[in-house]
Amino acid sequence: MKPFSLLLTLAAGISLASGQEKPNIVFVITDDQGYGDLAHNGHPYVKTPAIDKLHSEGVALDDYHVAPTCSPTRCGLLTGHWTNRTGVWHTVNGRSMLRENEITIATLLKENGYTSGLFGKWHLGDNYPYRPEDRGFDEVYRHGGGGVGQTPDLWNNNYFDGHYFHNGEVVSAEGFCTDVFFDQGIKFIKEKAAEKKPFLAFIATNAPHTPLHCPQEYLDMYSDQPLDKAAYYGMVTNIDDNVARTRKVIEELGIADNTIFIFTTDNGTVGGADVYNAGMRGQKGSPYEGGHRVPFIIHWPAGKLTEQKSVKTLTGFVDIVPTLLELTGSTKIPADLKFDGKSIKELLYKGDDADWEERYLITDSQRVRDPIKWRDSSVMSQKWRLINGTELYDITADPGQENDVAAAHPEQVQAMRQFYEDWWAELEPTFSQTTEIYLGHPEAPVVTLTGHDWIQEELPPWNQGHIRHDEATKDGKHEGHWAVKVIETGIYTLEMRRWPKEADTAITAGLAAEPNVPGADKAFSAREGDAFPFTTATIRMDGKDIETKPVSEGDTNITFTAELTKGSHQLAPVFTTADGKEVGAYYLIVSPAE
């Protein structure tokens, strides 16, 4: 077995056939859609004809693994590095921001003549230097946080007729969010095709993540199903229709031949495990196969990837960046950049007949403030899965992971445990490198901090339903903080809010519910907003109360002016009730004082 990191430095000289132009890349990734949530993989109800067609015309990685949750998958997918190496091992709590030293595929492709656009879900940071526009993407059209209606997203977004961030500016949109994100991706594709420049269009839907909403026509397609299933399947079929629409545009533009088209998902199913899970155990968040084995299909006519092929050799999300760099002939990369994955080009062309060296891969689901050794982990080889360091499964003979054979194969358990021990020993020193939000940087002088990124042991208020109706006062003490990095010592304005600025609502006032939208769930915006009887607001930094002001009826914000010194700080402003109960400010806007 090779050393655990399986490091790869791409050497200069890797190229496509002589004279061949660099291919375009259209990369579609969906949210919380499992391997079994596709008709061609055996689902008895869901309709996915366009993705089925893509599958019949391309190479499918059928033992392909990601992280069991979304942000951790996205960081590994975009950097080629283990999730825990990048600082992203959670989806909230300040642990979903991609460390600034990480280099994304967008940055690497830019150095090789590409323009990149991201459309839809990012979920690797909403503030500088963690936004997609800070990480190599030239065109960005996205929602905030990890889904439409989450706390960093624009207020009252609910899948229909929303507002989104377009290159840092707020814009309005008409229609269902998935349609809007594909619309923007298609617009970008048309522009780049006209310019005859190679591009990466990264279209990342927040569907079919909960809450479950879709246009009524898609609900009606599944009227014979329970409402939650109808909405889930409808969201999937809507994605499928958009895949068909995008491929048609590429054909009409005359660029289909030299476009790499990829479809994949970010983790195991949420809405489909109880109906069909392709024989796997577990779902999103699980260390078992159902949590992290997902579909991956690639089609590229000019590259001769047009015939249906199933690759059953073990592969993982950390392999994708080095693979795309090799397929595109992108040789201009930093000399010291190494990947935790390896190019799987040979597998794409030769399939399971390739001369492929046995290796181990690791995935885990931390979802805690700081990583815990062995937590929800899977060490994988072609034949074996070691779960949580103790359970061993022969995945070839027992794909449902029903029979733990650890006692019968102690030497295999020991080998896989040693691999994990070495992996952990290398990564553990990086865990203390907290991702800090920059204050006072000229690229982002005005910063909005939200409760989504509170660093604390408990889950923070990560969606707008929590903001509207939260039990944050139950313990009486706010334990969370934002990790910030002040770029220059100076006088700053700190604007504390209970409601976001666009809500324009008094701190102590409640908020009416908005009308619901089609689907199985109540939209976050369709919930009433609670009134909190706050009497004071306090700026707390590094564990010390700096200043307190009264909260009066009608105040929409309480603004402080304070000197912030250059360097790292823990910022934790709080509202307090008359009986001394604290609630962290859900929103804080920081900017240099004029």
For 300-312, write each residue's pLDDT tens digit.
999 999 999 999 9
Q: CA of 69: how far to CAs of 90, 123, 246, 280, 482, in Å?
A: 8, 11, 26, 17, 23
Reply yes or no on whether the pLDDT at 6 is more than 60. no
pLDDT score of 353: 85
Quote the CA–CA distance of 120 and 386 in Å, as a whole number.
35
Cα dihedral sign for 250, 133, 81, 88? negative
Taking residues 263-288, report their average pLDDT.
96
Which uninterrupted H or E stretch holds 449?
Answer: strand 447-450
pLDDT score of 251: 98
pLDDT in tens, 376-433: 999 999 999 999 999 999 999 999 999 999 999 999 999 999 999 999 999 999 999 9
pLDDT score of 365: 96
The pLDDT-based confidence of 474 (bands split at 50, 70, 90) is: low
Q: Rg of the Cα trace of the chain? A: 24
Taking residues 152-179, report their average pLDDT.
98
What is the value of pTM for the model shown? 0.96
Reply yes or no on whether the pLDDT at 594 is more than 90. no
The answer for residues whose C-beta is within 8 angstroms of residue 248's C-beta and 6 or more apart is none
Taking residues 83-101, report their average pLDDT.
97
The pLDDT-based confidence of 472 (bands split at 50, 70, 90) is: low
Taking residues 301-327, report their average pLDDT.
98
The pLDDT-based confidence of 583 (bands split at 50, 70, 90) is: very high
pLDDT score of 186: 98
The pLDDT-based confidence of 31 (bands split at 50, 70, 90) is: very high
The answer for residues whose C-beta is within 8 angstroms of residue 224's C-beta and 6 or more apart is none
- Other Cβ atoms closer than 10 A to 369: 16
The pLDDT-based confidence of 271 (bands split at 50, 70, 90) is: confident
Catalytic sites, residue numbers: 70, 123
Reply yes or no on whether the pLDDT at 247 is more than 70. yes
Quote the CA–CA distance of 121 and 103 in Å, as a whole number.
18
Reply yes or no on whether the pLDDT at 452 is more than 50. yes
Distance of CA 575 to the CA centre of its chain: 31
pLDDT score of 476: 84
Task: Give which of 513, 516, 511 is closest to 498, Cα–Cα.
Answer: 511
Q: What percent of the chain has pLDDT over 90?
A: 94
Taking residues 224-236, report their average pLDDT.
98
In the block, residue with structure tokens 């700190």: 494
Q: What is the mean pLDDT of the chain?
A: 95
The pLDDT-based confidence of 3 (bands split at 50, 70, 90) is: very low
Q: What percent of the chain has pLDDT over 70?
A: 96
Cα dihedral sign for 120, 121, 124, 125? positive
Reply yes or no on whether the pLDDT at 231 is more than 70. yes
Reply yes or no on whether the pLDDT at 9 is more than 50. no
Reply yes or no on whether the pLDDT at 486 is more than 60. yes
Task: Give which of 540, 434, 435, 405 is closest to 477, Cα–Cα.
Answer: 540
